[in-house]
Structure 1
């Protein structure tokens, strides 16, 4: 559409009127290939561009970096470090932000009563409000996964199919740097649609889109004005509202968050695992498998080996 518009603005007439006349003509009929048809997008896929109140994103970023990774929640560093070392990742990172790259194999995630930990109340309320607004009342947040991306990270091609109840939507929240998100079809052979995700953007995958292949091949610098987590100066949080869970972020905490987010992206996915009245099977199901049986993580695009590029928070944290 942009290319066509650029080619039609020459000649002194305003571009809007030229494009208006282009689509109005009867003979020959106009080419409609550049017209966006939202009815042809993946049914059940909802993209919400930054619905957060101004000044509230810093709170959610602080929760993702400081609160949600705390024990007893699980992170993939638990496979490589002692419990003492992973007890307080935030506390170990506040004084220096490391820049090295590490490669970690992600553990096989499972849904079972034995790995259950309390789900954060604030994140559940956010998810419940968001799903209700999209037409899905009664959503129960039972599993949350945090992925931390640096500029050279990616997320491999996969389908989120391990929840026992796949009729409930999956929510995805993005904070920090931008990313290219690929949404494909029910088969690996289906060509994907590429879209940009910026800080504060929310995606809801429901209905037929719930089991579509998707991936994040690239992290991009946030465009000017879209990174709502600005550095420097005082954090302006809105006055507390009745029933709100958002709290002010201290200057000390924001100093750490803002340094991290200048080159990193945080993504939170929230899922309902069980249908009302449903129980876990005796044998736990693996989480985040693809058609090749690989676990969620970063795909090198060649051998299928999973790896993670990391900075000061090189882990995926999971809370059930």
Structure 2
């Protein structure tokens, strides 16, 4: 108890010191944290039983959230690989209206489909990825085929060069996000994956957002040394719709702050299968990922990923089967990585993109692009962690 109080005290002291903003101080604190020690004692774990009982560090902030059970049928939930909404546990945080956290509502084994899609299907052309800046379209045509043998042999040769999938940092879907102009454009669009759209619509409906349209997705691929800088997702033209976040693979720490960086953030764990919804007041809050946490058992998968996808799937499901060979590649990748999908509605109903001048377009196409998901293995200075999307 003494060590826990000391950690909580140090976090509060860091946030209260003058000078550098409170968010960045805590970002650095958790980035340098040591798993298995008291450093993580103040991080909220929504999946832990004590959270639901109102005990544990930070749990005084945790409140139960009611979902719209009747908005999603059990059949449609099953089609997306989800448990019936009546079985989901949903939480919010005092001081963060519109924030909803749903610990892993996926049916056993069904995360396999979404992991495989993130690694095998979604990075394929014509979708845009972080490697396009440095490679030709032909070279990034099928990252899965170019990487699968490397990943299958990963354990046998740990000194081998990293595969292209391991070098991948982000993929954009639907309306593609321009990292330089921080805008979406009607000129840059590829069909949004129908399975991911259906999953997102069910989750949004369960959270009270009927009619949500999945129009843009950003997939972030994290290594154990990756971080995602402090930012606000404000580029969508319609902020009345929620931002949906899906996590798979190794756990991470997520920081949710306020409208200004002077406000100290709340830290929470994101585990495989967890879903976060940011809406209303919480839609435009600062947030970041300072730390991906290695599995305490070494290079192994979270327990929820050990059970395979059922061999027999519902006839009209959006989930596809996953072969043993494909999962072998996915599992090898996820032993030291995590994947996060964020899905957004960009436009309100009947809204269109504003016209841009030719000069604005010229500036956007000539600006040097950069990726804001940072890893120690890249040569970008760690000071460049800031992202305002």
Please classify the TM superposition score into its range, dividing by the shorter chain length.
0.7 to 0.9
Superposition pairs for residues 197-208 of structure 1, below 5 Å?
197-208=270-281
Rounded to whole Å, the distance in 2 between the matches of 1:37 and 1:202 is: 16
Superposition pairs for residues 1-320 of structure 1, below 5 Å?
35-36=60-61, 38=63, 40-97=94-151, 98-99=161-162, 107-108=179-180, 110-222=183-295, 226-230=302-306, 235-237=308-310, 239-283=312-356, 296-298=372-374, 304-305=383-384
Deviation at 1:130, TM superposition (A): 0.3
Assess if the C-alpha contact under 8 Å between 1:127 and 1:171 holds in 2. Answer: yes
Q: Provide the aligned length of Structure 1 versus Structure 2.
A: 270
Assess if the C-alpha contact under 8 Å between 1:184 and 1:193 holds in 2. Answer: yes
What whole-Å deviation, never above 9, does each CA across 1:44-64 have from its counterpart, x for those lacking one?
Answer: 000000000001001100000
The worse-fitting range, judged by mean Cα deviation, of 58-67 and 214-223 is 214-223
TM-score normalized by the length of structure 2? 0.63
Rounded to whole Å, the distance in 1 between the matches of 2:126 and 2:139 is: 13
Which one has a larger percent helix, Structure 1 or Structure 2? 2
Deviation at 1:34, TM superposition (A): 7.1
Unaligned runs of 5+ in 2: 6-57, 64-92, 152-160, 171-177, 362-369
Rounded to whole Å, the distance in 1 between the matches of 2:251 and 2:62 is: 25
Rounded to whole Å, the distance in 2 between the matches of 1:239 and 1:35 is: 43
Q: Decide whether aligned partners of structure 1 residues 58 and 129 sit closer, same or farther in structure 2, where only a CA change above 3 A counts.
A: same
User: What secondary structure is seen at the aligned counterpart in 2 of 1:160?
Assistant: coil
| Corresponding residue of 2:28 | none
Q: Decide whether aligned partners of structure 1 residues 74 and 125 sit closer, same or farther in structure 2, where only a CA change above 3 A counts.
A: same
For CA contacts below 8 A with separation 6 or more, give which structure has more relative contact order: 1
User: What secondary structure is seen at the aligned counterpart in 1 of 2:149?
Assistant: coil
What whole-Å deviation, never above 9, does each CA across 1:144-164 have from its counterpart, x for those lacking one?
Answer: 011100100000000000000
Assess if the C-alpha contact under 8 Å between 2:225 and 2:375 holds in 1. Answer: no
Rounded to whole Å, the distance in 1 between the matches of 2:169 and 2:270 is: 25
Deviation at 1:40, TM superposition (A): 1.7
Deviation at 1:243, TM superposition (A): 3.2
Unaligned runs of 5+ in 1: 5-32, 287-293, 308-320
What do you get for the CA RMSD once the two structures are aligned?
3.2
Rounded to whole Å, the distance in 2 between the matches of 1:135 and 1:243 is: 24
Deviation at 1:76, TM superposition (A): 1.4
Deviation at 1:99, TM superposition (A): 3.8
Larger Rg: 1
Q: Decide whether aligned partners of structure 1 residues 302 and 257 sit closer, same or farther in structure 2, where only a CA change above 3 A counts.
A: closer
What whole-Å deviation, never above 9, does each CA across 1:280-316 have from its counterpart, x for those lacking one?
Answer: 1112999xxxxxxx97433989763259xxxxxxxxx
The worse-fitting range, judged by mean Cα deviation, of 103-112 and 93-102 is 103-112
Q: Decide whether aligned partners of structure 1 residues 126 and 162 sit closer, same or farther in structure 2, where only a CA change above 3 A counts.
A: same
Rounded to whole Å, the distance in 2 between the matches of 1:189 and 1:264 is: 31
Deviation at 1:91, TM superposition (A): 0.8
Q: Decide whether aligned partners of structure 1 residues 148 and 244 sit closer, same or farther in structure 2, where only a CA change above 3 A counts.
A: same
TM-score normalized by the length of structure 1? 0.76
Q: Decide whether aligned partners of structure 1 residues 102 and 226 sit closer, same or farther in structure 2, where only a CA change above 3 A counts.
A: closer
User: What secondary structure is seen at the aligned counterpart in 1 of 2:226?
Assistant: coil
What whole-Å deviation, never above 9, does each CA across 1:177-208 have from its counterpart, x for those lacking one?
Answer: 00000000000111000000000000000000
Rounded to whole Å, the distance in 2 between the matches of 1:104 and 1:146 is: 8
